[in-house]
Structure formats: C-alpha cells, structure tokens
Amino acid sequence: MRNWWRDLGDLVLPAECGGCGRPRAVLCAACRTALAGAEPRRVRPVPEPPGLPSVHAAAPYADAVRAALLAHKERGALALSRPLGAALAGAVRAGLRTAVPPPRGGGGAGGGPVLLVPVPSARRAVRARGHDPARRIAYAAAGELRRTGVPAGVLAALRQRRPVADQSGLDSRQRLANLAGALAVAPGCGRLLRRGRVVLVDDVMTTGASLAEAARAVRSASEPPREQTESADRDGQGSSNSASAFVYLGETWEGTGQQRKSPTTWRGGARHPVGPSKEADLESAGGGAGPVCAAVVAASPDAFGIHRN
C-alpha cells in the first residue's frame, strides 16, 4: 500500500529546509541561526549611493540565507515568510534604536506607530512569481513587531512610475541610473507617511540603489504641500492632524488578490506647525520629512565591513 499519509504531509509540511535542503523543516535550526542568530548590523554598500538612509541587516547574503531568500522569492516557498519576517523585524528594531529620537508623547516601544514601507518588485516580476516577496516579508515582520509590543503596520505606498531594466548584471552606477525617478508614492499616501515612523524595508540590499530611490520618493511625498507651508508661515497657524489614518495590519496573498484586513486607526495629536522652520515640531507630532531608517533581511557580505560600522 502506498504511503498516502506521506504524500498528504508534503501538502502541509515543507519537503525540505529552505536553506540547506534537510527534510521536514521550513528552516532547520542551523539555518535559523545563520539567518537570525546574530545581532543585526549597520550595513553600508561601497560606493554608498546618495540619499541612502541608515540601513540595518539581519545577516550576510550568502550560503543558507541566500538559498532561503531565493527559495521564497523564486520558488514560492511561502512558508519561509515567517522566519524571514522575524529576521527583518530584528533589523527594524536595531534601526529604530539608532535612528532619530522617537516623537514626544508617542506610545509603544518605538515611540509611535512604525510604518514599514516595502520596496516594490517590478510588475512583471510579481506576475511571474505570483507574489511580491518584500511585501509578504514586511507583513510577517509587522506581525512579529506587534507581538513584541511595537505598534507596527505595513503601508505599501510605493509604486513604479515607469518600467526598469533587470538589475542583475548592472554595477552600482548603472543601477542608480536605471532606478532614477522610477518610484513614486501612491496618491493619498503622502499624508499617511507623515503620521508614523517610516522604515523602508526590502529582502536584500546589494548596491543600495533601490533603497536610495525609495527614500527619495518617500521624502518627496512626505514634504508638506507648498500652499500649506506658505499659509502656516503667513498666519503662524498649523493644520489639524486629528484625522484618522488607516493602515492594514493583516497578511496578504498577492497571488490570489485576497487580503485579511484588520485595520487599526492611529490618530494624530493636536495642531502642529508645518512651516520649514518648524521641522522639529513636525517630527514631534509623529511624522517627519522622510524615512527614519531602512532594514533588510540580508545584505552583501562586503557591506558588513567592521571599519564602516
């Protein structure tokens, strides 16, 4: 008689570890240690692209970590999103600890809501894979952060304005040129970005070009509208930030278009001036002029150089 129960188990449990191929494990103990066994580190690519925020990574992009990320991204090993998300959450915490001081009066471990903004994959890649890897890992990371007391959500605010070439095979300068001006913030998301502590997230950082372009787009969209700034300068009055901002905290299944929605409402505080000379006040209101920091699951081993940390 055929071992039908083994076949049924393969439908429920992974056939092999995503890092080393050992049987019956999403990620074995040794590969979990390689992924998240060390304290996340500040990483800096060489050359460092202009505008790149402070970036923290959980592990070097090599060996078992590289294999796990590729299995998740290219082979649809979606069960890996949870351990990868836990590793990303650790990098987010490390980045927030070394970023600008948290807003006054903020709650939670991070001093206010943390908005994870994933760097989007190209549309053709999402269609081919059936999911957006960075976004899926970001949702898992947000869940892990909330379980440890950090009020976090995912704001998928970035969109591609134009097609870009495949990044593989391009050097750092070519990647910067390829991505220049390629990302924009979706309509309506600019105000939401000013209501939390923005952390750009991605699965892997190599040259840093994608994160630098994402930071440029977020900074541009996070600036108060010119007419609002001029009005605040004229009469010394700020605009109310009391409107509600909704950020979905649930997981998504990009391939099927389903979303488990669990919206949480975060309210802004009292009036805060928004003129150029009031940047510190805007920061204290819970928002800023761009990303606080960036975090990735893995980065090029060269970016972990001790002399650059």
The answer to whether residue 260 is domain-embedded is yes
Is 21 part of a structural domain of the chain? no
**Preceding omega of 47 cis (within 30 degrees of 0):** yes
Angle between helices 29-36 and 81-98 (to 10 degrees): 20
In this prediction, residue 224 has a pLDDT band, given cuts at 50, 70 and 90, of low
Which conformational region is residue 137 in: left (phi greater than 0), alpha (psi within -120 to 50 degrees), or beta? alpha
Report how many domains make up the chain.
1
pLDDT at position 83 over 90: yes
Average the pLDDT over 185-211 and give the result.
Answer: 93
Q: Is residue 23 part of a domain?
A: no
Q: Is 15 part of any domain?
A: no
Is 3 inside any structural domain? no
Of residues 157 and 247, the one with the higher pLDDT is 157
What percent of the chain lies above the pLDDT cut of 90? Answer: 50
Lowest mean pLDDT among 15-24, 240-249, 297-306: 240-249
Q: Is 31 within the bounds of a domain?
A: no
Which residues lie closer than 8 Å to 128 by C-beta, 6 or more apart? none
Q: Which pLDDT score, from 0 to 100, does residue 14 have?
A: 56
At 227-274, the pLDDT tens digits run: 554 554 444 443 333 333 334 444 433 333 334 444 343 333 332 333
The answer to the question of residue 17 being in a domain is: no
pLDDT band at 290 (very low <50, low <70, confident <90, very high): confident
237 located within any domain: yes
Domain that holds residue 97: 38-308
pLDDT of residue 303: 96
pLDDT band at 160 (very low <50, low <70, confident <90, very high): confident
